[in-house]
């Protein structure tokens, strides 16, 4: 099945390093980041998992849980997690799904639906399992990122993306290019000038009739 922004994130039951979870139940009433990896002991993914462990308190502060996935069984994750802490300086402090059968990878359209799951697979065979899914409290996909196996993901950008998505979900605004928290935001065209004047009595800037900016609402 194809996964698109706005779709309900497929629910699943899986074994993780923190026990069996049912995904929607595990998310609860908050937000979630699901990020996937082709295989254990891959160098780029090792750096990513460690960096996300360092960022975990920032995600928690935003009421967001993070969960990783690797195309290897849970029982194989332990030694990799030791390597991650040793080389990256952070212990993995979030669950890591074991997806040896590729069930979750196929459910989220990260790998060909006919990919064979029996027997050992190489990282190259699983190279498309390199996605990030941002999921809202309504269990809908809010954003997706897909990277090649050779390029480390920018998880500072994922945090910035989360800030934007949470802000625009709470306020009728949009964020411009390279926006960071605290920067001015855009008033969407769906908001009339009359309504904008009521909502922003402090005023806003009109660059074009369709491009109006205002101080970020709190």
Mention every residue, 6+ apart, whose C-beta is less than 8 A from residue 27.
Answer: 65, 135, 137, 139
To which H or E segment does residue 199 belong? helix 193-199
What number of H helices and E strands is found in the chain?
6, 10
Please tell me the distance from the alpha carbon of residue 12 to that of residue 32, in angstroms, as a whole number: 14
Catalytic hit among 9, 32, 44, 45:
45
Dihedral angle, C-alpha 81, 86, 87, 91, nearest 10 ° = 50
Please tell me the distance from the alpha carbon of residue 66 to that of residue 56, in angstroms, as a whole number: 7
> Is 45 considered catalytic here?
yes
Radius of gyration of the chain (CA): 20
Q: Which residues are catalytic?
A: 45
């Amino acid at each position: 099945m194809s996964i698109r922004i706005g779709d309900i994130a497929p629910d699943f039951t899986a074994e993780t390093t923190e026990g069996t979870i049912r995904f929607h139940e595990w998310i609860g009433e908050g937000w979630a980041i699901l990020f996937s990896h082709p295989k254990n002991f891959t160098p780029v993914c090792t750096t990513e998992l460690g960096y996300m462990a360092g960022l975990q308190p920032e995600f928690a502060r935003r009421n967001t849980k993070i969960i990783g996935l690797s195309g290897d069984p849970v029982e194989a994750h332990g030694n990799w997690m030791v390597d991650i802490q040793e080389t990256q300086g952070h212990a993995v402090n979030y669950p890591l799904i074991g997806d040896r059968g590729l069930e979750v990878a196929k459910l989220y359209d990260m790998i060909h639906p006919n990919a064979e799951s029996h027997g050992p697979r190489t990282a190259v065979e699983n190279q498309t399992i390199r996605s990030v899914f941002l999921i809202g409290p309504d269990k809908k996909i809010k954003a997706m990122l897909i990277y090649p196996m050779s390029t480390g993901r920018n998880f500072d950008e994922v945090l910035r993306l989360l800030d934007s998505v949470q802000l625009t979900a709470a306020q009728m605004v949009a964020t411009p290019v390279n926006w960071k928290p605290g920067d001015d935001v855009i008033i969407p065209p769906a908001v009339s000038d009359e309504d904008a004047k009521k909502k922003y009595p402090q005023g806003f800037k009109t660059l074009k009739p369709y491009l109006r900016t205002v101080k970020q609402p709190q």
